[in-house]
Chain A
Amino acid sequence: MNGTAFSFTLNGTAAVALPSGALLLPSERLLCISDLHLGKSERMARRRGVMLPPYETRATLDRLALDLDATQPACVVALGDSFDDLAASEALDPEDRARLVALQDGRRWIWIEGNHDAGPNAQDGEGHASLTVAGLTFRHIAEPGAAPGEVSGHYHPKFGLPGFGDRRPCFLLDASRLVLPAYGTYTGGLDARDPALRSLLADRALAILTGSRAIPVPLPGAQRVGQRV
């Protein structure tokens, strides 16, 4: 574990949670990011007539470029909901598209399908419903009862340390599965204590907060939160 990242082992594979919210498998030179939601502002404008600052794709790719520079992966896995919808993938601004192509250059690029972007998208790269590498299975939405070693996204988990300000996007980790935070700029979050999310994980689980460094904290036990009496 270097100064700011958090290293752990999942199903026998060494992994590193980066403070940016990306996951690195050093042995595979694989970088995984989830829920980029590229093109969200375009979709909002198209669907709701809300004109958000149209810079989120640029901002997300800027951050991804930094992670790619720092880790030089041979393979990138985008873990679903990479585009806010398939039309947003079509409508990507030419400059953003060129940027994405440049990032893909010289490496394997895998788009895992998500609920927002099911089916082939308009960009280069391989599309898969799920993928297994080094004992880890990458899929967009966690499956209850999945075999150990599942890596998923979808829920945009967030958690905070009481007394230390706002909640931050976080990884959730237990002995058999990992849930990634959303990497996209315009993505909100679901509290890690929310029953929908908390019930996915074992009682003994960690939240790994993102930010200027990755900070692991215990996730409050499933029996204490969200309990309905």
Chain B
Amino acid sequence: MDLPARLAPFFARRGWSLHRHQAEMLERAEEPALLLIAPTGAGKTLSGFLPTLAELAENPRPGLHTLYVSPLKALAADIRRNLLTPVEELGLPIRIEDRTGDTSQAARRRQRADPPHILLTTPESLALLLSYEDAPRIFEGLSRVVVDEIHALAESKRGDQLFLALSRLQALAPDLRRVGLSATVDDPAEIAHLLARSPDPCAILHADPGERPDLSMLDAGRAPPWAGGAALHAIPAVLEEVRRHRTTLIFHNTRAQAEIFFHNLWLQNDDALPIAIHHGSLSREQRTNVEAAMLRGDLRAIVCTGTLDLGIDWGNVDLVIQMGGPKYVKRLVQRIGRANHRAGVPSKAILVPANRFEVLECVAAIDAALAGDLDGTPRGPGPLDVLCQHILIRACAGPFAADDLYAEIRTAGPYADLARADFEACLDFCATGGYALKAYDRWRRLLLRDGFWQLRDPRAAKRIRMNIGTIEDTGTLSVRLRSGTHLGEVEEYFASTLTPGDTFLIGGQVVRFEGLKEMTVEVTRRPDATPRVGRFGGGKFPTSVALTRRILDLIRQSSPDLPRHTADWLALQARVSRLPRAERMLVETFEAEDRWHAAFWGFAGWNAHQTLGLLLTHRMEAQGLDPLGFVATDYALLVTGLREVEDPGSLLDPRDLREGFETWLQGNAVMKRTFRGVATIAGLIEKNLPGSRKTGRQATFSTDILYDTLVKYDPGHLLLRVTREEAQRGLVDFGRIEEMLSRIQGRLDHVRAPHVTPLAAPLLLERGRVPVEGRGRERLMAEQAARLLEEAGLEDLT
């Protein structure tokens, strides 16, 4: 199809012609659901809007025509600016506005009264809009919804919430057409299923694949260190690459690593190259400043995290550096695409392994990325906590019949197979709390009147609206200078470990902890001090199953792609002990530093190894092996204790492991953390009250207590079920343990080494050891307390 006449001048003036997929998007604009898969830089977003511009140019009409949803507020604002250019140039009668958490109250009210033609928003802001009683009026004329970066949304609860919102939109505007814009994914059909009105089909369009990327591993001139994730050894080489390129994005996997790297980078940045830092714990002003400097072209590099995986198109980026193992091939490909965001130029990326194991991971990831072998993460059906929130949102908008809502929800891809019983359980939870003890008949939240469910107290709508969203609040505290300047956020847990005088890194500067004031961490600047390692939130994903398999293949084939130092290391391991194999479990036991160690080479990702560590040490405690703690990495679990594990096979019995998971593991901190997220999303607790915050002296209590209480008194409660299911897939990752067990089928190689083995040596150096709360630990704690008492000269008080 040709470009509509009204739009042609805009393209002509720029010497542009339509991409094939853009023309196809115009041709197939009438499809009820259409998914476009395109590499970055292919003009994806414009493709999504062309049919809207064409329709409104030909047939101007008032009211909301197209809703655009993206995962990032910044994208919504950026797209608005980009769309305004053709609209203004061509004099089209189209009003475009964005609506996010940053939009003023006045603007939001106006948008509800008089919606623009194109509204750009986020899943959360859309959910909020749908909670208003006037939602039917706002959306009745809606023709198109465009979901940008749908592959990213599809991986999280934000996507589940969005797809539920689409089911609601479709009920309000039956002729609504859905368009999804996605980066390259391993399974387009799965995304298509989520996008379409279930069970209807969804057409898929593939844009031409871009140029083959230019990928390499950094040659830092020397072998990376044995352990750690900071990759400080690579700083001179990284600076050299920054110097050689126009603009570089330096990606890290965690905020803490980004901070440490950034701090050390500046200590060696002798040319004072303009390099900034960007991650989710920094204040919004700070991030906005960095983004603005980037747009102006003032920066040569940004040290960043996943917050820049997606985002506005910075055409000037010509190099991406991935620090550390990329963990997911899919994410690596996404990051690579951030460089040379123009068609016809290959993206260029350099991978920097931070330690020996990551050399393997980087080599495997480069192979996989070049082969287009992306790793999938099947998510399973839509989680019920998000469904509970959706029901509450629906109730805010007005009375509803259960049958209607159930039917509507089943048109959302993630909930296509939702059982009626599960729906009823969620509805009951929203109405009464869903407890076995029916305590709240007088105070229930939803009532059934004349066949319609509604809020008992309409004022509750305000509280429900304040709680909308599925992005987890990890419980962070604001870090401020005495003057009030906000520097960023740190996790509550990290803050609770600080004593006045401690120094840590935030925003690349070293600060000194002065005290906790209300909910604020007060600090002073201390540029001269050596920082303690910062611990922030920020995702640490386990290495994907597909990538792990490739790593095991590399080890087995002693691949020629491996650098000399790494090949030598593996060869030495083969001589001293054995090399790990996919179909067997290697267990090494040895004595070092007066402790016994057992390394379990499970290759199941660090989440699963952490769970395995909890399960195994629990069994070791029972067997009197006095475990003291363990370290989990993506490749292995290292357990440290006072005695040797002589029969590792007895610890790995699948039945015992499963039973341990079912019973005692439910008291674990990981389960409690998962519960906190679930309880917040489902609306059991409010985002701030009474979860993790306290205001002034009004003490509130932790959700851990709610979890323990439910486990003890109401073990069949809906939210416990949701927590278990989620933890199995996520933080606990029992699925990966099952995958490992079925891979090894009880085949065990136990090597009793005379000393630490080459492969296990790095594990001894890893940080983040998890202590075992056993008899030994409680004893150590009492001893430590006694020492402190003596030092303080306080024995007389005892």
Please give the residue numbers on chain A whose beta carbons come within 8 Å of chain B beta carbons, in ascending order: 6, 8, 41-42, 44-46, 48-56, 58-59, 93, 155-156, 160-167, 173-175, 182, 185-191, 193-194, 196, 204-206, 209, 212-213, 215-218, 220, 224-227, 229
Contacts and interface: CB of A to CB of B under 8 A. Distances in A.
Interface string B760-798: 000000000001010001100110110011011010011
Interface string B469-506: 00000000000001000000000000011011000000
B711 to A, nearest CB: 10
Closest 9 CB pairs of A and B: A54-B439, A51-B433, A188-B701, A188-B699, A45-B443, A55-B713, A218-B792, A188-B700, A217-B785
Interface stretch (B527-535, B630-638, B684-692): B684-692
B144 interface: no
A218 B464 CA distance: 44
B781 A52 contact: no
Contacts of B781: 161, 164, 215
A8 B709 contact: no
A42 B781 CA distance: 38
B782 A215 contact: yes
A56 B496 CA distance: 27
Contacts of A162: 497, 499
B453 interface: no
* Chain B interface bracket (under 10, 10 to 19, 20 to 34, 35 or more): 35 or more
Given A51-B432, A187-B699, A190-B697, A56 B709 contact: yes
B460 interface: yes
A225 B498 CA distance: 12
A50 B679 CA distance: 12
Interface of B: 432-433, 435, 437, 439-440, 442-445, 457, 460, 463, 482, 496-497, 499-500, 514-516, 684-686, 689-690, 694, 697, 699-702, 705-706, 709-710, 712-714, 717, 771, 773, 777-778, 781-782, 784-785, 788-789, 791-792, 794, 797-798
A81 B661 CA distance: 38
25 contacts: A8-B798, A45-B440, A45-B443, A48-B463, A50-B690, A51-B440, A52-B706, A53-B710, A53-B713, A53-B714, A54-B433, A54-B435, A59-B713, A93-B437, A163-B497, A167-B496, A186-B706, A187-B701, A190-B694, A193-B516, A204-B794, A204-B797, A209-B785, A217-B789, A225-B515
Nearest to B782: A215
Nearest to A212: B778
A216 B440 contact: no
Contact of B435 (A53, A186, A189, A204): A53
A198 B497 CA distance: 18
Contact of B684 (A8, A52, A93, A212): A52
Nearest to A193: B516
B718 to A, nearest CB: 11
Contacts of A215: 781-782, 785
Contacts of B499: 162, 220
Given A52-B684, A206-B794, A216-B789, A227 B515 contact: yes
Q: Which of A49, A173, A185 has the most CB of B within 10 A?
A: A49
B709 A185 contact: yes
Contacts of A209: 785
